[in-house]
Amino acid sequence: MGKRANGEGSIYKLKKSDKNGNEKIVWVASIMTGRDKSGKPVLKKMQRKTQKEAQKALEDYKRKMSMGVLNEEKIILQDWFYTWLFEYRKQDLKPKSFDRYFNIYKKYISDSSIGKIKLCDLKTTHLQIYYNELEKNEVSANTIKQINTKLKTCLEEAKRQQYIQQNWCKLVKLPRIESNEEVKVLTEKEQFMFLQEIKGHELEMFFIVALGTGLRRGELQGLKWSDINFKTNELTVQRTLQKVPIHEDDKTVRYEIIEQSPKTKNSIRTIPIPEPIMKKLKEHKKKQNEIIIKIGEEYNNKDYVLCDSLGNPFEEKRPNRNLQSILKKIDIEPMKFHALRHTYATRLFEQGEAPKTVQKLLGHADINTTMNIYTHVMKEKKTEAVEKLNYLFV
């Protein structure tokens, strides 16, 4: 019988010699039960005379684990989470997503009150008490929700393998998330001021394309000339550039800038480019080509549109830092780089575009995300709309 998926165990033949030197075949059932403190897999192995007996031993062992009747293996929640994360999820999670899971593990699972509970003993009550304590210690409702979401996925795998009978994360009561965050955008007047101020700035095109297309920062950095169609005045979002942590065992060993697929399937999209911006892009490409010819091999030519004078991506935090400095200089309230994306959406709404159209242009997977911006815009239009009814009550 072939090797099974991680966590389900495997069965294989083993040649052994007896005291007299005679060779014989035994069948070994093996299953990983966790990891030791150094991160190495802990395996439970059972030898049997036949393949059928080994299969039965493996199934019995898994069943006993799920019922919590094994004394020799006491898997606690934090060990299972670690094993699940590195053995089941590391391969299919994007590096930044993996890092979010890993940070939840380090900060809220490892060495916590619930982390040390045996997996087979865990109940909803344990989770509820822990979440209530976190809330009392002013951990945000959103963070608690994230902890539970990741634990829920982890325990679903434990349930599938019959280590536990119920996914207790599904039964907890989570604190309510209050959505008080105001959507910040540049007004039309502020946008004109900003565009005047950035003329000649090294990130001028970076900011202009952001305001004219609504691309996310990583999408802007990953934009290549091959993504721009100069005949149709369109660009296609096909990748994002991210600085991600690289993990080895339970340590972050380095950071790398990598290209990866966009956030969701909806993020892969084609966007019309305003004619004035297309004109600026053509000028930008001409200047970039002149630099490439001038410095030759020193230019790191990866076809990026928005990069420094040597072809390298701008440092991840630089667009936001530069934005803050520019806004402060022209006496505009500070806002994050993502506000430029909201500004793009706001201008579209102000011109009467339908929310569904804006959703497609922004690449939102959920229309509710788009509607949050739309609601913000409509607040400013409410008084104007109601005043149109004044004539009825004169």
4: pLDDT confidence band, cut at 50, 70 and 90?
A: very low
Question: What six digits make up the tokens of 158?
Answer: 């434990």
What DSSP element (H or E) covers 338?
helix 338-350
Which ranges in the chain belong to alpha helices (H)? 51-67, 77-84, 95-104, 124-136, 141-160, 188-197, 204-213, 217-221, 275-295, 318-329, 338-350, 355-362, 367-387
Question: What six digits make up the tokens of 36?
Answer: 């030791």
Detail the DSSP E strand segments found in 36-172: 41-48
The CATH T-level fold of domain 77-171 is: DNA polymerase; domain 1 (1.10.150)
Average pLDDT (154-176) is: 89
2: pLDDT confidence band, cut at 50, 70 and 90?
A: very low
Question: What six digits make up the tokens of 381?
Answer: 């239009």
pLDDT score recorded for residue 383: 63
Q: What is the pLDDT of residues 13-46, one digit of tens each?
A: 888 776 667 788 889 888 887 776 677 777 888 8
pLDDT score recorded for residue 63: 66
Fold matches, 77-171 and 188-385:
no
Which ranges in 204-267 belong to alpha helices (H)? 204-213, 217-221
Q: Which residue has the tokens 């667009």?
A: 319
pLDDT score recorded for residue 64: 62
Contact 230, 279 (CB under 8 A): no
CATH number for the domain whose boundaries are 188-385: 1.10.443.10
C-alpha 332: how far from its chain's center? 31
pLDDT score recorded for residue 131: 96
Average pLDDT (154-158) is: 91
Contact 209, 224 (CB under 8 A): no
* Residue 254, burial from CB neighbour count under 10 angstroms (0-12, 13-18, 19+): exposed
Least confident range of 281-285, 362-366, 380-384? 380-384
Residue 344 pLDDT exceeds 80: yes
Q: 64: which DSSP letter? A: H
Domain ranges of the chain: 10-67, 77-171, 188-385
Residue 228 pLDDT exceeds 50: yes
Average pLDDT (267-271) is: 94
pLDDT score recorded for residue 5: 42
